[in-house]
């Protein structure tokens, strides 16, 4: 992307107007035929956290250094009223979107936020509607209700990993959901690994050390909840402070490293007396060790997602980030050399 004249942390900033906003995760478009049909130098899938499933995805496209956004309509065989898309990843050309499975505005775990949706990049159709370009694709979606939250709680309990103290709100939400002694779950990152496993990144809960937690799932998250129950829980040892606990906002996997955005965990869910850490782009080995800090942002910068997009010439060499913003899709991008 070309510079816009606005820079933050050596990044160019773009405010893109679109009907759907509040971007929450990024994943590179991997299908080169689709990139060609988009006439794009590079592109990413972006998801939005307050939309229903059918309109929760957009395409972020760069042509000749200029970014734009096109909405994606997921044509679902069955109407699914899931919401709060927080993660997107691509495996073998299949795009998967996950809901957060988190707490709603009434302080209870919201079953509509627990869903998985997917579609094939190769099936995306481009069309013009009212003078604007959009994409349409047949998709599949399943609501998982409390089952995913219960499965992750089982994995946490089986692992023996100690989690940080919870607030009364968090304990009450878990109890109402039939999980006494458990915890609400906020999934804000997911990524496919080359060996076929899936990593889920949690913004909440976090380890008692203040470090964020990942779950390595062997199998399909949608239909294999037994695999989620048996997932390996991995502490991402990013040198967080128990007094400033950090949760995961998004995940990416590049050149053998798990890249993530870490930021403040869910403050209303944490016991009192904790503060906000800086927001980081950090990477670790797949086992959670060997942290490397790539960028540091202000604690309240609201960075939500990251990706290193594929380009028409191969792997990209710069990072894109999206910011949680209710008025626009805000993208930060490395300026190419």
Q: Residue 119 — φ and ψ, nearest 5°?
A: -160, 165
Mean pLDDT of 163-187: 96
Cα 137 from Cα 93, distance rounded (Å): 13
> Residues 6 or more apart from 123 whose CB is under 8 A from it?
137, 138
In 10 A of CB 94, how many CB atoms? 16
Q: pLDDT at position 133, please?
A: 87
Q: Which two structure tokens, joined as six digits, stand for 332? A: 């930060």
Cα 141 from Cα 146, distance rounded (Å): 16
Residue with tokens 């775990």: 109
Taking the chain, what is the end-to-end CA distance rounded to the nearest angstrom? 10
- Does the global pTM surpass 0.85? yes
Q: Under a CB-based contact definition with an 8 Å cutoff, are residues 20 and 58 in contact?
A: yes
pLDDT in tens, 32-45: 999 999 999 999 99
Considering only residues 77 and 117, tell me which one the structure prediction assigns the higher pLDDT.
117
Considering only residues 78 and 182, tell me which one the structure prediction assigns the higher pLDDT.
182
Closest CA to 329 of 56, 24, 83, 3: 24
- Arithmetic mean of pLDDT over the chain: 92
Mean pLDDT of 159-171: 96
pLDDT in tens, 107-155: 899 999 999 999 999 999 999 877 788 999 999 999 999 999 999 999 9
Mean pLDDT of 151-174: 96
Cα 113 from Cα 24, distance rounded (Å): 14
In 10 A of CB 138, how many CB atoms? 13
Distances (CA, A) of 332 to 27, 57, 310: 14, 19, 16
Q: pLDDT at position 145, please?
A: 92
Which domains are delineated in the chain? 7-334 (2.120.10)
Q: pLDDT at position 120, please?
A: 98
Name the percent of the chain lying above pLDDT 90.
80
pLDDT band at 5 (very low <50, low <70, confident <90, very high): very low
Which sign does the torsion angle of CA 30, 116, 88, 37 carry?
Answer: positive
Residues in the chain: 337
Closest CA to 303 of 256, 337, 264: 264
**R_g (Cα) of the chain, nearest Å:** 19
Cα 69 from Cα 331, distance rounded (Å): 11
> Residues 6 or more apart from 45 whose CB is under 8 A from it?
26, 27, 28, 29, 57, 58, 59, 60, 72, 88, 90, 95
Q: Residue 73 — φ and ψ, nearest 5°?
A: -95, 115
């Amino acid at each position: 992307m070309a510079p816009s004249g606005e820079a933050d942390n050596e990044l160019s900033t773009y405010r893109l107007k679109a009907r759907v906003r509040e971007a929450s995760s990024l994943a590179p478009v991997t299908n080169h035929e689709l990139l060609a049909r988009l006439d794009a130098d590079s592109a990413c899938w972006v998801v939005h956290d307050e939309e229903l499933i059918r309109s929760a995805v957009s395409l972020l496209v760069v042509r000749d250094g200029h970014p734009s956004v096109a909405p994606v309509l997921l044509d679902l065989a069955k109407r699914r009223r899931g919401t709060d898309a927080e993660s997107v990843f691509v495996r073998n050309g299949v795009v998967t979107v996950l809901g957060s499975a988190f707490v709603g505005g009434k302080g209870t775990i919201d079953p509509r936020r627990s869903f998985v949706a997917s579609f094939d990049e190769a099936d995306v159709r481009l069309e013009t509607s009212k003078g604007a370009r959009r994409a349409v694709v047949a998709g599949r979606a399943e609501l998982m209700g409390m089952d995913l939250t219960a499965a992750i709680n089982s994995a946490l309990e089986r692992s023996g990993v100690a989690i940080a103290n919870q607030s009364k709100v968090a304990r009450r939400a878990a109890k109402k959901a039939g999980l006494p002694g458990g915890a609400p779950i906020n999934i804000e990152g997911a990524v496919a690994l080359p060996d076929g496993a899936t990593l889920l990144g949690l913004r909440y809960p976090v380890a008692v050390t203040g470090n964020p937690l990942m779950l390595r799932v062997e199998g399909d998250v949608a239909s294999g909840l037994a695999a989620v129950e048996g997932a390996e829980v991995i502490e991402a040892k990013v040198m967080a402070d128990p007094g400033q606990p950090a949760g995961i906002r998004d995940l990416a996997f590049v050149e053998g490293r798990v890249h993530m955005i870490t930021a403040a965990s869910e403050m209303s869910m944490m016991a009192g007396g904790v503060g906000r850490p800086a927001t980081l782009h950090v990477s670790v080995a797949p086992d959670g060790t060997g942290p490397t800090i790539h960028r540091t942002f202000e604690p309240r910068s609201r960075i939500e997602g990251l990706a290193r997009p594929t380009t028409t010439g191969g792997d990209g060499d710069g990072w894109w980030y999206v910011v949680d913003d209710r008025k626009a899709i805000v993208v930060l991008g490395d300026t190419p050399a």
